[in-house]
C-alpha cells in the first residue's frame, strides 16, 4: 500500500517544481526587459499562474490521475488531433524547460570551477555534461533521483530565504534602491512581456496534479497545496527581484545577466555570498533536470499509452520508457544550439498555451467539476491576451525565440494529424 502524501509534501512538490532552475535562469532576463518594474512583471505572471491553479484544483479533484495535465486535456477535448497536439506540446515544453535549466547550470558552474579558457566552451561542456550525468542517474536509480530532489528543495529554499532576509536588511541606505521607483519601470506592455517571457518560472505547480491520487484528504489538501505553493512562490520571486534590483546597478545586472542572483549576493556578504548562491543554483538546476527528465519521459509514456503518439514510446529501454533517452538527446541538441532568451520565450509560449487550454477546459466542464465558470474564463482570456502580447513584442527583439515557439507548436499539431490519419488508415484500410 502506497504511503499517502500530506499537505506539506504536496506543497513541496509544487514549490520544488517552481523554484527549480527557473529563477536562477530568468531573473537577469526579466530585469533586462522590465528594469525597475521586474517585481511587477513577476506579479503579473504569478496572477496568471494563480488563476490557472483554480482550474487545476477543480480538474484534479474531479479527475485524479497520475497523468495530470494529459488526463485533463483528454477529458476536455477527447482524444482528438487538438488534444494530442497540446499533449505533445507539453512533452516538448518539458524538453525546453530542461534546456533552460541546463543553460542556467552552464552559466553558473564556470564561476566556481573555471576549467576552460573560453567561456563558450565552458558553458557547452557544463550544460551538456549535467544532462548526461542526470540521464545516467535516472537510468541507475529513481530512488537516488527522489532523494536528491527532497534534499535539494530544502537546501535551495533555505539559501534563497537567507538571501531574502539578508538582502532586505542590506537595502536600507543602498543608493540602488531608487532603481525600483516607477520612473525606472518599463512601459505597461513591456512589463507584461517581461512577466510572460519568464512565465516558465511558475509552470512547476502543475506537477501537483500528477500526485493527487496519493494525497491524503484531497478535498481539503489539494486546493491548499496549489494555492499556498503558488502564493508563496509569487511573494518569494517578487522579494528576490526587489532585493536584486535594490542591490546592484542596472549596468552590473546586464553584465552578469546569466548569473545575476549570485552577483547580487556580493554587496551583502562579499565573495562568500557569490559562492553560496552559485552552489544553490547548481543544486537547484541539477535537481530540476533530474526531476524533469523523469517527468518528461512519463509524459511521453502517458501520451503514447493514450494512443496520441506511436505506441512504441511505451516500450522500455533499460527498464525506463524510451522517452527518457529521446528527451535527453533533444535537450542536448537544444541547449547547444539556442540561446537562453529564445529558450525562455519558447518555453513560456508553450506553457501559456497549455495553461490557457486547461482554463478553457475548466470553463467548458464547470458543471461536471462543480466549479465557477468565470474564474477559468478570465484565465482563458488573460492567457490568450498574454500569448498575443508575448509573440508580438518578442518578434521584433527575439525573432528566433518566436520562430522556435511557433515551429514547436506546428510540429506538435502537424505530427499528431499525420499520426492520426496514418493510424486510421492502418486500422481501417480501404476495401
Could you state, in order of their start, the residue ranges of all structural domains in the chain?
7-424
Helix (H) or strand (E) run with residue 316 in it: strand 316-317
* Average pLDDT of the chain, as a whole number: 85
The mean pLDDT of 242-255, rounded to a whole number, is 88
Question: What's the gap between Cα 118 and its chain centre?
Answer: 29
Residue 205 predicted with pLDDT over 70: yes
Alpha-carbon separation of residue 149 from 24, 276, 285 (angstroms): 17, 19, 10
The cell for 363 is 470553463
Residue 204 backbone phi and psi in degrees, to 5: -65, -15
Closest CA to 121 of 289, 340, 339, 336: 336
Domain 7-424 class? Answer: mainly alpha
pLDDT of residue 263: 85
Query: Cell 464547470 belongs to which residue?
Result: 366
pLDDT digits (tens, 9 = 90+) for 381-420: 999 999 998 898 888 888 888 898 999 999 999 988 888 8
Q: Are 233 and 202 in contact (CB under 8 A)?
A: yes
The mean pLDDT of 34-61, rounded to a whole number, is 94
Instruction: Look up the pTM and report it.
Output: 0.86
What share of the chain in percent tops pLDDT 90?
27
The mean pLDDT of 314-333, rounded to a whole number, is 79
Residue 151 backbone phi and psi in degrees, to 5: -70, -35
Task: Report d(CA 122, CA 25) in Å as an integer.
Answer: 17
Amino acid at each position: 500500500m502506497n504511503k499517502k502524501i500530506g499537505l506539506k509534501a504536496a506543497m513541496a512538490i509544487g514549490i520544488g517544481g517552481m523554484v527549480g532552475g527557473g529563477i536562477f535562469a530568468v531573473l537577469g532576463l526579466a530585469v533586462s526587459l522590465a528594469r525597475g518594474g521586474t517585481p511587477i512583471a513577476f506579479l503579473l505572471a504569478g496572477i496568471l499562474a494563480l488563476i490557472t491553479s483554480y482550474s487545476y484544483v477543480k480538474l484534479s479533484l474531479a479527475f485524479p490521475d497520475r497523468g495530470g495535465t494529459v488526463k485533463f486535456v483528454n477529458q476536455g477535448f477527447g482524444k482528438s488531433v487538438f488534444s494530442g497536439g497540446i499533449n505533445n506540446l507539453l512533452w516538448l515544453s518539458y524538453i525546453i524547460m530542461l534546456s533552460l535549466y541546463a543553460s542556467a547550470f552552464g552559466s553558473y558552474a564556470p564561476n566556481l570551477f573555471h576549467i576552460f579558457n573560453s567561456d563558450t566552451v565552458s558553458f557547452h561542456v557544463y550544460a551538456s555534461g549535467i544532462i548526461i550525468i542526470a540521464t545516467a542517474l535516472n537510468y541507475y536509480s529513481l530512488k537516488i533521483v527522489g532523494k536528491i530532489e527532497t534534499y535539494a528543495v530544502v537546501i535551495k529554499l533555505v539559501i534563497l530565504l537567507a538571501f531574502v532576509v539578508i538582502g532586505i536588511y542590506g537595502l536600507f541606505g543602498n543608493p540602488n534602491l531608487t532603481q525600483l521607483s516607477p520612473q525606472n519601470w518599463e512601459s505597461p506592455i513591456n512589463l507584461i512581456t517581461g512577466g510572460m517571457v519568464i512565465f516558465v518560472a511558475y509552470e512547476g505547480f502543475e506537477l501537483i496534479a500528477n500526485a493527487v491520487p496519493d494525497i491524503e484528504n484531497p478535498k481539503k489538501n489539494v486546493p491548499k497545496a496549489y494555492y499556498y505553493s503558488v502564493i508563496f512562490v509569487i511573494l518569494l520571486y517578487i522579494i528576490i527581484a526587489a532585493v536584486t534590483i535594490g542591490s546592484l546597478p542596472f549596468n552590473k545586472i546586464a553584465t552578469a545577466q546569466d548569473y545575476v542572483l549570485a552577483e547580487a549576493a556580493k554587496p551583502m556578504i562579499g565573495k562568500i555570498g557569490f559562492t553560496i548562491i552559485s552552489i544553490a543554483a547548481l543544486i537547484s538546476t541539477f535537481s530540476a533536470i533530474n526531476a524533469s527528465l523523469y517527468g518528461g519521459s512519463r509524459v511521453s509514456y502517458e501520451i503514447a499509452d493514450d494512443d496520441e503518439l506511436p505506441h512504441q514510446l511505451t516500450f522500455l529501454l533499460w527498464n525506463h520508457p524510451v522517452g527518457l533517452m529521446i528527451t535527453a538527446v533533444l535537450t542536448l541538441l537544444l541547449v547547444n544550439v539556442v540561446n537562453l532568451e529564445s529558450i525562455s520565450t519558447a518555453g513560456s509560449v508553450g506553457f501559456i498555451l497549455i495553461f490557457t487550454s486547461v482554463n478553457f477546459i475548466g470553463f467548458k466542464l464547470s458543471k461536471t467539476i462543480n466549479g465557477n465558470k468565470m474564474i477559468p474564463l478570465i484565465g482563458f482570456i488573460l492567457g490568450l491576451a498574454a500569448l498575443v502580447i508575448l509573440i508580438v513584442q518578442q518578434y521584433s527583439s527575439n525573432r528566433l525565440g518566436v520562430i522556435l515557439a511557433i515551429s514547436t507548436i506546428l510540429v506538435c499539431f502537424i505530427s499528431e494529424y499525420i499520426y492520426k490519419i496514418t493510424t486510421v488508415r492502418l486500422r481501417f484500410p480501404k476495401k
